[in-house]
Amino acid sequence: MSQTDLLTLSACEVLAAFSARSLTPSEYLAACLEAISFFNPKINALAAVDTEAAVDLAAAATIRWEAGYPIGPLDGLPIGVKDLQNTKGLLTTHGSVRARGHVPNEDLPMVARLRAAGAIILAKTNVPEMGAGGNTRNPVWGATGNPFDANLIAGGSSGGSAAALAASLLPLCTGSDTGGSLRMPAALCGVVGYRPSVDVIAHPTRPLGWSGISVLGPMARTMDDLTLMLDVCQGHDPDDPLSAPSAPERFRALPSVALKDLRVGFSEDFGGAPVDQSIRETFRERLDILRPHVKECRAADLNLGDMDRCFDILRAESFGVAFGEAVQEDPDSFGAHIKDNVALGHSLCLADRGWAHAEQTRILRKFNRLMAEFDVIVLPTSPVSPFQWTQSHAAEVDGQKMDIYYRWLALCYRGSLAGGPSITLPCGRDAAGMPFGLQMLGPVRGDDGLLAAARAFETLFNSTAKTARPLANMETLVPSAVDLRSIVTHPPEVTAKPVPNARLVRTAV
């Protein structure tokens, strides 16, 4: 089997090969390291890489699989962890000059669950500074380019994760999502990104523990891989009062859903958000493909309230709590996006905060009434095709100027306010030839049903070349015209361990 074929295996297929003893964790890791050494410089998706520990862990996992006693469902599988999430002993910078030497003493609980299941934490994936924005670039690691065109954005804030998956550098990656940080980059890179309900994965580092606007979640290339990872990550933590205990095998044994039984609602613009006409046309084409296969497909009114102002206040409230004091103490160590969010928070009063929480409650209740009519609601994930990474954000969408840097993410963050789970599935390419992501919304705490419907959608989309997941060709990818690391002003203080030019041990699988 060629290196390309080996690396494009799904995580489930890799683990099955481990079990069949036709592939070892050491051999698979060698393939990943070789791909990283050759292709990561083209897209700059990965930050710190822990090569030495990974080699040792893969060797131990190889022995366990040969003996028939893996320690967990992910034993020996190398994965990427978003650089906002703590990894014990591995540099975690948040893309911030303030944290460019930060090596945590413990894992985030989600990371600990993955490690306990046998996953090898091979690399950290790149992020915007402190996760602020839909373009993954920061002064510590530089920018992440899209694997389909390195001159264009990979999205954010989980852009490094999405790019690493699309480039077949890693089989699974973690992410997080406040206003679209899992869904947007997954859509722009042609992979699957899932924002679960707030109770599914414990998030004990959330600055406001009783606010569910920010969640942690998985990113993968297939639905089976995503549910495998989600099943490991789920669970309660006492420091996250919104989290619930895990249900064993909950996401590995999803209910069977037939497309012909699904009531599908759709919206081109989530209640009037600006969307480029070419994206609307691509979305309509996808609806035409979907419509004959489902029970019902009709327009859904997603004008649920003053969603933009509500999100602005809730986001500013969270940023103010997380970064307000630090910005006041050392403003020069933060970029404009962080300072703008904090300044917005300082301009608000208690009445604004009270209104926003009340408005989110009203949005939730309207959404609940709407979802009584549908099983899922579909819409585009991104209002635009990927743009140049040197551009901070989409300043204009369909002729409408954006009043703040994240306004172009409205198709995603409005869904965050509604409170239900949401997912983006790769669905062919847009008019510009870049990946197109179809977003799906489910009812509040309706994760099982949404995931089951998404799996049925995936089967349909994969049946034709027009809607199948597009594949990036890293061999022919031309590096960005502007060096992705040209914006680095404060490189990491802790030197990341080099990736050796590992040679693939080719094995028939």
Q: Two tokens at 94?
A: 């948040």
Q: Two tokens at 141?
A: 């690691």
Would you give the end-to-end CA distance of the chain in angstroms? 7
Written as one string, the DSSP assignment of 20-66 is: HTSS-HHHHHHHHHHHHHHHHHHH--EEEE-HHHHHHHHHHHHHHHH
Among residues 26, 42, 82, 124, the one annotated as catalytic is 82
Tell me if residue 211 is catalytic.
Answer: no
Beta-strand relationship, 137-138 and 142-143:
antiparallel
Tell me if residue 157 is catalytic.
Answer: yes
User: How many other C-beta atoms lie within 10 A of the C-beta of residue 148?
Assistant: 25
Distance CA 338, CA 95 (A): 12
Among residues 96, 168, 181, 246, the one annotated as catalytic is 181
List 174's β-bridge partners, or say none. Answer: 218
Distance CA 392, CA 184 (A): 15
* Count of CA atoms in the C-beta half-sphere (13 A) of 84: 29
User: How many other C-beta atoms lie within 10 A of the C-beta of residue 494?
Assistant: 14
Distance CA 71, CA 131 (A): 33
Tell me if residue 82 is catalytic.
Answer: yes
3-state secondary structure 162-193: HHHHHCCCCCCEEEEECCCCCHHHHHHHCCEE
237 to each of 82, 114, 121, 244, 422, how far by Cα in Å?
A: 20, 15, 21, 8, 22
- Going edge to edge, which strands form the sheet with 78-82? 46-49, 120-125, 78-82, 173-177, 215-220, 192-195, 422-429, 435-441, 376-380, 263-266, 296-299
Residue 85 is given by DSSP the state S
Task: Give the H/E segment covering residue 326.
Answer: helix 307-329
Helix (H, G, I), strand (E, B) or coil at 153: strand
Q: Which residues are catalytic?
A: 82, 157, 181
